[in-house]
Structure 1
């Protein structure tokens, strides 16, 4: 009996020992995948705790990294700045030696024994002085969390192509909206899967206590998740507003959407917070959009316009991209020459699809494009778009914004060129569909060969277009292109006006019965000739008495009848003395830029091309 009991005790001890040993290895470490845990149960300190069990390491020294930059921002982020309390352990809980070699890297010694990495990740919105673009960062509140996962989870250098199993610990009632594959969902724990670090970074999660909303469009699930402290932003309302964008895009692309899911995540902030934290906006992901937006009613239309742009990134770059995006380097990325295509053509597509889908009118579209022409005037026209794209992170960083202005105009001009050269039968969208079918998400083109690829699939004259207007600095041929569509375009026309005084005036009825000069710019010759001074009271302009609220009207009536070279007088009061000042009437020449008008008598051919372009 004693022997039997001893055997039972021995077995029990072995089982207990085995269980204890097994517990030390939970979760199990694999050679071909990561296991990451993010704890959002307690978010009161604007930070979350993170545990990463990396793949088994085969070298004695290994490096853990947080991204220096992520796609879509074209700016250095250095997410390692938001990591603290970094530690590495073996499977027995022994701490390994770690050296923080630069802002984004931690070098781990004895890495063959590495089992677990732990650290805390800080809310990037809370660290507003560090300049992270709000939609491209993380956000934490007591009841919500915007998980752009590149701000929470890093990777082992050389192993970013391995899958991630992500586990999120949460409190009951906190619901996830994401494009990630969901493996399991429970009250206190969710599990997700990403095929590699790029997919993990590309599919953010919004945790919120508010309900999300979804609908199927052409075989794709479109979902909206919101966090709105005031309750003004509602997922259902936003979904209703943006739905026409998805149906118009479906029709624009020939009846299908090149994705099986798309998620719009909206984080609401009070207007007063933007002055401190940064501007509202959105960041595209391949199958998601993150928006940080004013938390107030009536914002649905603005969200629709932004979503239209971000959604078209499912074409460029999700389905059409070069090697620089296909094998993205989060630490030292290589910039493409073709941001005009990734961002500019995307912006243009977001507008033309709405016109062709009946969401935007012809005149609204033309006004948008003229606005982009005027905005593009603020950038250096002597830098080719390919060159400023390639150097968007360094010497031409200040020119980056033009990809949304001139880049969109290039998209429009290329579309018009293709319509014109194919007698209206094909446009830019037909080229995009060809390229999408050739490449898709899993294949890339060589960045330096992109023009050759376009030329192979477009009519004669396209090669000249690409090298003159994109690789070169020739002005886009709008006069010729719009003329073919029944519009007249002029780059600029002079405007002649009678020069007015360069001054600021005020009227305080409790202090006087007259306007007084509060600022005068004597660098303007017409103004300087008067000899005006701050504090002068204006009694009469060219003999006309100036009463409260009438100064602008008096000046306008005078300007209509003024004689160039003649004299104009001002009667003023200065220090109790009445004076009459005079100046010589001069002409001011201004320039009106980008005049676009629809022809009164377009030809049938022009109307046909216009109709095929805009789907009228």
Structure 2
């Protein structure tokens, strides 16, 4: 009896020691936003209870959930240093874009580095998608995606993290992450693993906030506008109508609070976008978009990102659930994760009359043109999805928003025809969601579920246009719902509301620009022209003019400007930044009460 008792005690002690060494491994990260200089923050990692052998590799992710493209956060790391238990430096070297090797790391106790924000890098094909990146504006605005700030060791993403963030006293913060407050400027965030750490962003700023309640959930709109001209109230009714339109079809999201974070920057380019999270979305746009285009962008992006609460945030495969941050394995379901929400968001907006029929058809026409520009016709959507992180195919990712959405549109038409209008894509997604929302599914199994719920044969559509690379006969599908695709291209212009200046000296001319499509005359002969006066008011700061065009409205501006050391003066129409979109016309050929397209949308 006594021997047995002592054996149990010894076993318990061994178990406790093992538990302490194995399960209490934790990285404590300190991020100090008070010492932000030149858009850099300092990061300190304190390492506890780790038993490293020889060299160890510190990784940043190659890709992150919701992005589906390769990223290089390592290029923003500066002055990387590692320290041993005695405080002495340990030798390190950068091994690859996102890897730092710590040599002889057995006694590693601390890592320090400076981190530049990702929004300031020059725009290129390798730029970080803004909602997925970081922004550090001293005492003004910080957007933290923690996976871009803190990494993991030797592909081990199961370690725990305690993140301490010190903020300027004048800034508030918003996040769906749970936190504990240490004092007025320090908060602690705890995560069980790297996947959990990557779930929600944290934003620090002077946030303009408004909220509403519907479907047993509180929706909190937080807005940051760099030029202070846009606030949350501006979009309240618009966003609420979009949320209620989606909730009309999908009511079982099981969330109590959802954050809608809107960020408007003084960009001269059309850039930014949205990114989904489990309890929030971040949408980043230029604040110079004309209001009518701005409201459409908000509607479309809110609808798309909110629909991600279905797929991939809840309706998700085991591959997506066990996300591979190294980018070795990727899902084959991007047609479901991105193509279907892109289409359904537009369909639901049209169904609830939040956009017009002509706007819906024009957007579809744009997607047809953009799809044609992609040279990926030899690849199926499934094959593209599996291999989208390969360098040779990464440029095709955007086609899940074009070809993926068009395929979803055609599939919806096909489903309704096969089932005599008794079943559609919206209902199929609801059925798949309700079946799989409690646990991840195997990717190969989703196709049998599609057949089970729709009572159709995958061989007649999915195998041809999703798994296979057969070209979609869009004209044939459109004809089923009284739509006609016109082969000739049309051109439209999109414009911004300001003339172009440098980032810190914005001068608004007119909020209501009526742009005439055929107006494409460049005013200035070179991009170093400087505006000196507008309507005889002196412009004190130098303003570089880029891509300025004129619109044929009734407002003239008297502009004095300098080119090649010559002072010139003229009356110009309103100045705007402009770009071009091309699209195919799609006509509704039936104006009778028995219009098939209208019935299709309602169904």
Q: 1:207 aligns with which of 183, 204, 207?
A: 204
Bigger CA drift: 230-239 or 313-322? 230-239
- Correspondence for 1:451: 447
Secondary structure of residue in 2 paired with 1:271 = coil
Structure 1 position 364 matched with structure 2 position 355: no
**Match among 91, 110, 114 for residue 116 of structure 1:** 110
Q: Which moved more, 1:176-185 or 1:125-134?
A: 125-134
Deviation at 1:139, TM superposition (A): 1.1
Matched, 1:100 2:94: yes
**CA–CA separation in structure 1 for the residues paired with 2:82 and 2:393:** 40
Partner of 2:224: 227
Cα distance in 1 for partners of 2:305, 2:259 equals 11
Find the partner of 1:248 among 229, 242, 245: 245
Partner of 1:533: none
Please give the residue correspondences for 1:557-572 in structure 2 after superposition, counting only pairs within 5 Å.
none
Q: Distance in 1 between matches of 2:246 and 2:182?
A: 32
1:375 match: 370
- Structure 2 partner of 1:52: 45
Report the equivalent of 1:43: 36
Note if 1:389 corresponds to 2:385: yes
1:434 CA drift (Å): 2.1
1:57–1:111 contact (8 Å) kept in structure 2: no
Q: Distance in 2 between matches of 1:30 and 1:90?
A: 22
Report the CA distance between 1:182 and its aligned residue. 2.5
Bigger CA radius of gyration: 1
User: Is the 2:172–2:204 contact (alpha carbons within 8 Å) kept by the matching residues of 1?
Assistant: yes
The residue aligned with 2:602 is: 615
Q: CA deviation at 1:109?
A: 4.6
Q: Displacement, 1:595?
A: 4.2
Supply the distance in 2 between the matched residues of 1:91 and 1:494 (Cα, whole angstroms): 67
Q: Match for residue 599 of structure 1? A: 590
Superposed, which structure 2 residues align to 1:19-168 within 5 Å? 31-61=24-54, 62-109=56-103, 111-128=105-122, 131-142=127-138, 143-168=140-165
Partner in structure 1 of residue 525 of structure 2: none
CA offset at residue 412 of structure 1?
A: 1.4
User: 1:483-535: CA deviations, max 9, x gaps?
Assistant: 444x143574899xxxxxxxxxx9xxxxxxxxxxxxxxxxxxxxxxxxxxxxx
8 A Cα contact 1:54 1:156, kept in partner:
no
Q: Against the structure 1 CA distance between its residues 601 and 483, is the aligned structure 2 distance closer, same or farther, given a 3 Å change threshold?
A: farther
Q: Is the 8 A contact 1:63 1:107 kept in 2?
A: yes
Q: CA deviation at 1:225?
A: 2.5
1:270 to 266, 272, 278: 266
Residue 343 (structure 1) shift: 1.1
Determine the C-alpha separation between the residues in 1 that align with 2:48 and 2:414: 52
Q: Against the structure 1 CA distance between its residues 196 and 494, is the aligned structure 2 distance closer, same or farther, given a 3 Å change threshold?
A: closer
Instruction: Give the deviation of 1:51 after TM superposition.
Output: 1.8
TM-score (norm 2): 0.73
Question: Alpha-carbon deviation of 1:325?
Answer: 1.8
Cα distance in 1 for partners of 2:409, 2:136 equals 40
Structure-1-length-normalised TM-score: 0.71
Residue 176 of structure 1 aligns with which residue?
Answer: 173
Q: Which runs of 5+ in 1 are unaligned?
A: 1-27, 496-505, 507-591
Quick one: structure 1 residues 403 and 109, their matched pair in 2 at CA, closer, same or farther if it must change by over 3 Å? same
Q: Secondary structure at the match of 1:376?
A: helix
Residues 554-596 of structure 1: per-residue CA shift (max 9 Å, x gap)? xxxxxxxxxxxxxxxxxxxxxxxxxxxxxxxxxxxxxx96643
Q: Which residue of 2 aligns with 1:290?
A: 282
Q: CA offset at residue 313 of structure 1?
A: 1.4
Task: Quote the Cα distance in structure 2 between the aligned partners of 1:267 and 1:77.
Answer: 22
The 3-state SS of whatever aligns with 2:348 is helix
Deviations 1:36-56 (A, max 9, x none): 221101223211111223452
The size of the alignment, in residue pairs, is 483
The structure richer in helix per residue is 1
Summarize deviations over 1:453-473 as a string: whole Å, max 9, x none. Answer: 322332223432101122223
**For structure 2, which runs of at least 5 residues remain unmatched after alignment?**
1-20, 491-520, 522-582
User: What is the CA-CA distance between 1:204 and the residue it aligns to?
Assistant: 0.8
CA contact (8 A) 1:218 1:256 kept: no
Q: Aligned equivalents of 1:192 and 1:148: distance in 2?
A: 13
